[in-house]
Every structure is written in C-alpha cells, then in structure tokens.
Amino acid sequence: MPIVCLGLNHRTAPITVRERYALAENELPELLVQLLKQTNVDEAVILSTCNRVEIYAAGRGPAQHLLNELRAFLVTEEEADGDDVFYEHSGQSSMVHLFKVASGLDSMVLGETEILGQLKDAYQIALENKTTGSSLNQAFQKAFNVAKQIRTETNIQRGSVSVANVAVELASKIFDQLKDRTVMVIGAGETGEKTARALLSRGAKSLIVSNRSFERAEAMAKELGGVAVDFDHWQSVFDSVDIIISSTSAPDYVIDRKKLEPLQGSRQHRPLLLVDIAVPRDIEPEVNFMEDVYLYNIDDLQSIADDYLRLRKEEIMKCESIVRDKARELFDSHFYSQDDRQDPETPAAGAEPVVN
C-alpha cells in the first residue's frame, strides 16, 4: 500500500495563499472522515500549522492516482494557483519528508521543536477518528523516534530555534533594549505563551494578555506574572504597550488600520512593534504604512531564520544522513520488496510500490 504526501509550506506558498488553505483543528475530524469516503485513501493524517498544510495518506491503487485525489480534495476549481504551490512525495520520498518535518529540518526556523508537538497532535486526531492503519502507524512512530534521535545526537537545535525566539530577535532589532518595554499577547495559545516567555526572559518589563476566553487569559497572565484584559477592551491599555504579539485563530482581522490610527495618534511617536504569527493573519497589512508602526508577519521572520540556517549547515548534513538511513530502513523492512528500493531523492519514473 503506497504512502504519499501532498502539501504546501512557507517555501512554496506565501502567507496570502497559506491562509486560504489553513484548517482549524476542529475541522480535521470531519475532513479525515470525508477524505476516506470520497477517495481510495484508506489511511490519512492531516497536518495544518501556520507554515504548512499536508496530507499523509496510504491507500489502494497507484501512488500518483492517490496524489491526484488528494489534490482534488483540497483544491477547489477557483484555486488557480494550486498546481504551483503544492509538492508531492510518494514511497520512500514521503518517509524522508515526514522524518524531516518531524525533526524540524523542513521548518522555517531550522530545528524548531514546536512542529513535533503539532505533528503528534495531528496523528492523535487521526488515531481518535480511526483514520490510520498499519502503514501510517509505522511511519509516524518511526518519525517520532527519528526526531528524538536527531535531538540527542546532533546540535541542530542549538541557539534560537523557535518562532517565539525569532520574534524576540526581531524585537531586539527594533528596540535598543527590552527591559522597559510592555508586551501584549493577543491569543492565549501555545505559540503566544512561548513568545511571551521568551520576551520576559530577555527583560521585558511587563506583560498583558488578551484572549476571547478571559479565563484562559487570566490563567496565562497568572502563570507568567502579567495581567489579563478582556478581549473586547484591549484598546484601553494600548497606550502602555510597546510590542503586540498576535496569534489568535480568528477568521478576520483583529487589528486593522481604522481601529489602530486613532489609538496610535496619542502615543507621541513611540514606536509600536506588531508581530503577527497567526494564519490566517490577525493584523491588516495596511497598518504597516502608518507612522512609527512596524508590522511583521510569519513570512517576515524568514530572514532571521535564514541567519540560523547558515550557522547550522554542518549539523544539517548529520541530520539528513540519519533521516535517509532511517527512511530506507523502514522502507526496506516494512513496505517494499528488494526490487523496488530506490533513492528517496530520485524516485524512478513510473515505478509502482509492491506490498510485501
């Protein structure tokens, strides 16, 4: 039974495209069920994060036929750019890709750890909805083991290896120092919390947390020594804020130019840093044209991430060697016969997998 992967990520699709394909966690169970009903797919896991949307699947028939079905399932007729932004993997190549994703080797911030938790969550949702089987169970369990091996045997994660820490580096470029700065986090999710912790560890003076669930905002504020404000009244503390980190799952803009302009006018040219790490975006791009306002979205963090990438070239080689060896090991022992072995980077044209 062939394993395939169809996806898009921060390299193949800008945020304007990724946010159209972004899937909320509560949508995944029904999507998984419908995918198995509407296609020849027998097993599936759907991963949706701010930087990628991917479907891992196993099923009946040729691998390319499964990939075509996945594309038809995800892409509507109105999505004219579908062919340009999606990548495809099958057979051993799909396992190499999965292992790289799990290990943070395919992430915007090389070696970041959040993706492993997100991948485990996606796998757990598939397990709970009974959309995995022998093929994907083996592949994902191996992926988690490979990620652990890479963490323990290489230095790929040394330094700032999270979106949160990259956001802090960005703040340090805008402000000479963080010790007198007040940070407001809009959205009490995991990424927002990690960003708040990172800013506080670098000396930010105070923290304000705003969330649609005031109880969650209070819980985070208490945990981090900050204060909570009601989501509909965050403007009341705006004058004291220097940095806003927004990471909600709202379908529309939380902050737009019309709302921000009258508030910014009373700040007497104090700079305001806005870091939008949500997909879909929380902050209207137009606010970047306002005086003394600096807006960065998740794609803008790429330049800082590229600096880390240059420093980790040696470790990448070690990690990729582990990934390729483990993918070949799984491929050979569980899925395919000797005659069907092939290099994951150069799949044989038209080759079909043979089930052991």
Provide the angle, in degrees to the nearest 10, between the axes of the packed helices 134-153 and 313-330. Answer: 150
Q: Which two three-digit tokens encode residue 177?
A: 């120092």
Q: Which of 200, 101, 109, 203 is nearest to 147 (CA)?
A: 101
Q: Is 319 a catalytic residue?
A: no
Q: What are phi and psi of 145, to 5 degrees?
A: -65, -40
What is the rounded distance in angstroms from the CA atom of residue 221 to the CA atom of residue 24? 25
In sequence order, the 6+-apart residues with CB closer than 8 A to the CB of 153 are: 318, 322
Omega of the bond prior to 280 within 30 degrees of 0, cis?
yes
CA atoms within 13 A on the CB side of 16: 4
Catalytic residue among 35, 50, 166, 229: 50
What is the rounded distance in angstroms from the CA atom of residue 180 to the CA atom of residue 204? 6
47: left (phi over 0), alpha (psi -120 to 50) or beta: beta
Q: What are phi and psi of 41, to 5 degrees?
A: -75, 130
Q: Which two three-digit tokens encode residue 96?
A: 């190499």
C-beta contacts of 64-72 below 8 A and 24+ residues apart: 64/90, 65/40, 66/2, 66/4, 66/39, 66/40, 66/41, 66/90, 67/4, 67/6, 69/38, 69/39, 69/40, 69/41, 70/4, 70/6, 70/35, 70/39, 70/41, 71/6
- The 3-class secondary structure across 115-126, one letter per residue, is HHHHHHHHHHHH
Q: Which of 29, 7, 13 is nearest to 101 (CA)?
A: 7
Residues classed as catalytic = 50
